[in-house]
Structures are given as structure tokens and as C-alpha cells.
Amino acid sequence: MKSIKKDPRLAPFINEIFLLESDDTGVHKLPFYADGYPGIIFSETKNGVVLLPINKTLPNYFLYGQTIKPIELEIKGPYKLIVFQLYPFATRILLNINPKEINDECYDLKQVANANTEVVIEELAINPTELQIKIISDYVLKLVKNSSANSDNAIKLAVSTILKFKGVIPIKTLREQLFITERTFERRFHREIGVTPKQFARIMQFSFSLNQIQESDYTKLTNIAYENGFADQSHFIKTFKKYTGETPKGVLAKLG
């Protein structure tokens, strides 16, 4: 996976841009686990991309929502994926859709009414990677310009705070800092992000621990559990199984 420098104008909406590609002619299964971020994917493959476990063939240019249950993308033969990882609040702002509707699902960008997606897809099909990234960047900027949805700044602040604390912050403390009642906070957060504040915090706690375990010695599992706010190793492993269907050791083996 290669990280791509993003257009500075995209910074309020795009967290990172990734390029994943392979010339291998075999079958590829790319695991996707909960990480708190939706995103836009453009794929170049001979046989398409299949979403597992539901065996759904995906369009070559789509938006994916919050990943809660573990999924895999199956690709036969060489492929290239360009991934624009959106901030959690960007889905509703850019497309004015309910983020909850695309949790563990994908949204065909041909459905977008305020941008000529068909033309964009045609341009993506005939250009090299560098220009494809610019085309998608321009597309996102156009969605921003044409958006009629207003940003909920309190929820954006809540999201950035949860990210800052890697998911380890009491939701009550966060709500009190924002001077929002529990019911209002839950409703607004769910509307903007597609999951509850507590759910989002748990996903981020898991995601940060997953990143750390990939970069660390597996024998230090207990230390990683404590450093990421888990009560003990047992709770840590239980959370891993919830979001991946595997133990930490099994996830590492799958990710290689």
C-alpha cells in the first residue's frame, strides 16, 4: 500500500489517499476492518471486485460507508485500487445521504445528482494513475462546492476529540465538554457519522490497537491492550473477534 500526497484543498474532507496494486494473476482477498473512516474507491481490474461474504460485484467507482462487520474484497488477477479515505463526517456533507444507510455497504457514485459521474468514470478509464488521482480530487472538490448540506461543527469537534484520544475517552465527558444533552448528542452524532458516539469510540480504540499490533512484537500483546485502554488482554481479544472474526494472531496472519 502506497500513501499518496493529497491536494491541500482536500484536507478538511480527506484523511489519506492510498494506492493498492498488484500484477499477480492469482486470486487476491483484501480484508477490510472497522477503522472509523468511509471512503471512495476507484478500481481497475479485468474481472471486477467482489464484496465478501455477500458475493456482491461492486461498481468500479463507489463510496463505501462505515465498516463495522469484517469484510473482504476479492479480486481475480492484476488490479489497481485508488482509495480516498474520507473523514467520518464527510459522507453526509459531500453527498447529503444518511451515512447509516451505507454502513457495511457501498454506494454507486453514478447515483450522485450534483456531479457528472459518468464523464468522470470515462476519464478515469483512459488516464494513468497520477491523472486519475487528480480527476478524483477534482470530483471531490466539485461535490464540496455543490453540496447543500451544512456541517455540524459540534459533531466534527467530537469526532476529532475521539480521534485525538484514540477512542479512549468517556462519552459523558465529551458530551459535557460540548454542552449537549445525551439524547441530542446521540441523535446528531448518529445522523452525521452513521454510528453512535460509543460505537465510534470503540471502533477507533480497536483500529488504533490494530495498527499498533501490526507494528509491534506480538509477544507484547498485553502491553498493547493496556496502552489502548482495554481492561485486560481478554477484553482486547474479545474486541478483536467482534470486529475481525479472528484473534489478533489470526488477523496478523491474514494481513501478512
Is pLDDT at 120 greater than 90 in this prediction?
yes
Going along the chain from its start, the domains and CATH numbers come out as 2-146 (2.60.120), 153-255 (1.10.10.60)
Answer left, alpha or beta for residue 55, where phi above 0 means left and psi between -120 and 50 means alpha. left
What is the reported pLDDT for 233?
84
Q: What distance in Å separates the CA atoms of residue 189 and residue 89, rounded to the nearest whole number?
A: 9
Q: What distance in Å separates the CA atoms of residue 30 and residue 19, rounded to the nearest whole number?
A: 13
Q: What distance in Å separates the CA atoms of residue 71 and residue 53, rounded to the nearest whole number?
A: 7
Does the global pTM surpass 0.85? yes
Q: Which three cell numbers stand for residue 172?
A: 459523558
Q: What distance in Å separates the CA atoms of residue 36 and residue 220, rounded to the nearest whole number?
A: 25
Give the DSSP per-residue string, 206-222.
HHHHHHHHHHS-GGGHH
Is pLDDT at 220 greater than 80 in this prediction?
no
Give burial (CB, 10 Å; 0-12/13-18/19+) of 254: middle
What is the reported pLDDT for 232?
84
Reported as a single tens digit per residue, the pLDDT across 3-55 is 999 999 999 999 999 999 999 999 999 988 999 999 999 999 999 999 998 99
Is pLDDT at 137 greater than 70 in this prediction?
yes
Residue identified by cell 478483536 is: 240
Q: What are phi and psi of 86, to 5 degrees?
A: -85, 155
Where are the alpha helices (H) located in 25-110, listed in sequence order?
A: 90-95
State the chain's mean pLDDT as an integer: 91
Q: Report the pLDDT averaged over residues 197-214.
A: 92
